[in-house]
Amino acid sequence: NAGVTQTPKFRILKIGQSMTLQCTQDMNHNYMYWYRQDPGMGLKLIYYSVGAGITDKGEVPNGYNVSRSTTEDFPLRLELAAPSQTSVYFCASSYSVSGYEQYFGPGTRLTVT
Amino acid sequence: QQPVQSPQAVILREGEDAVINCSSSKALYSVHWYRQKHGEAPVFLMILLKGGEQKGHEKISASFNEKKQQSSLYLTASQLSYSGTYFCGTERVWHSGGGADGLTFGKGTHLIIQP
């Protein structure tokens, strides 16, 4: 099992550009999450999904969009990138939302200049 | 609301013990503990659930005080490999009784183990 994979690993965007961060898991988990981690800080939840076709906002959803068309994939879309979106983005998945460990992908380091 | 972790940083000699604390102002369903090394993804250590159940690595011990909404992670006989940043993530109690909307993470505790 590859677990949770993310692409790309690094990306530099110019202000106003858009991009999609890819996330795939092969553990057949229904629950998937997107977090961002700013330098020296904890992780903040952007969006989460409890299954294909169902998504909901987390703590910091502004400037992002998600979709979940399959169990395996949970892409994160950045529209009109801003310097405040410079961060490391982690995708995670879990078997269930309550009381189950989350498995994290390796992260995408994004810089917006 | 973000849980509060203490201390912010700890420096230990190999073999010494440490306690990392996590407290929340919300009623919690569970507390998760993760360790993150620089430039890497967080790695699961332990979950402590409301009601007393625990899941995690045998060599890690932790406690969860449901009355105070506080959890502590105990690192004994520390090894160099324990170095990293430790995060607690909390699931609040939802109307259905379980957690419902993912984890809220603290800012982390930086642990440095010196030989």
Specify whether the CB–CB gap between B88 and B22 falls below 8 A: yes
Residues contacting residue A46 through CB under 8 Å, at least 6 positions apart? A34, A35, A36, A58, A59, A60, A61, A64, A66, A76, A89
The vertex-A40 CA angle with A39 and A41, nearest 5°, equals 95
pLDDT of the residue at A99: 78
Strand-pairing partners, residue A73, are A24
Backbone conformation region of residue B69, classed left if phi is above 0, alpha if psi is from -120 to 50, else beta: left
d(CA B100, CA B95): 9
Q: What is the mean pLDDT of residues B98-114?
A: 84
Question: Does residue A13 sit at the B interface (CB-CB below 8 Å)?
Answer: no
pLDDT of the residue at B16: 95
Backbone angles phi, psi at A17, to 5 degrees: -75, 165
- Residue B94, pLDDT above cutoff 90: no
Question: Does residue B84 sit at the A interface (CB-CB below 8 Å)?
Answer: no
- Residue B59, pLDDT above cutoff 80: no
Among positive and negative, which fits the CA dihedral B4, B9, B14, B16?
negative
pLDDT of the residue at B100: 55
d(CA A105, CA A90): 6
Q: How many CA atoms lie within 13 A of B75 on its CB side?
A: 28
Specify whether the CB–CB gap between A21 and A108 falls below 8 A: yes
Task: Give B27's contacts in chain A (Cβ within 8 Å).
Answer: none
For residue A104, give how far its alpha carbon lies from the nearest alpha carbon of chain B (Å).
6
> pLDDT confidence of B55, banded at 50, 70, 90?
confident
Specify whether the CB–CB gap between B72 and B21 falls below 8 A: yes
Neighbours of A17 (CB within 10 A): 13
For residue B25, give how far its alpha carbon lies from the nearest alpha carbon of chain A (Å).
17
Which of A7-21, A49-63, B45-59 shows the lowest per-residue confidence on average (mean pLDDT)? B45-59
Q: What is the mean pLDDT of residues B64-85?
A: 93
Strand-pairing partners, residue B31, are B48, B90
Q: Do B2 and A42 touch (CB under 8 A)?
A: yes
> pLDDT confidence of B6, banded at 50, 70, 90?
very high
Task: Give B105's contacts in chain A (Cβ within 8 Å).
Answer: 35, 42-44
Q: Do B41 and A97 touch (CB under 8 A)?
A: no
- Residue A6, pLDDT above cutoff 80: yes
pLDDT of the residue at B92: 81
pLDDT of the residue at A71: 96
d(CA B97, CA B74): 28
Token readout for B10 is: 């700890």
Give pLDDT tens digits for A67-104. Answer: 999 999 999 999 999 999 999 999 999 998 777 889 99
Give pLDDT tens digits for B22-33. Answer: 999 988 889 999
Question: Does residue A39 sit at the B interface (CB-CB below 8 Å)?
Answer: no
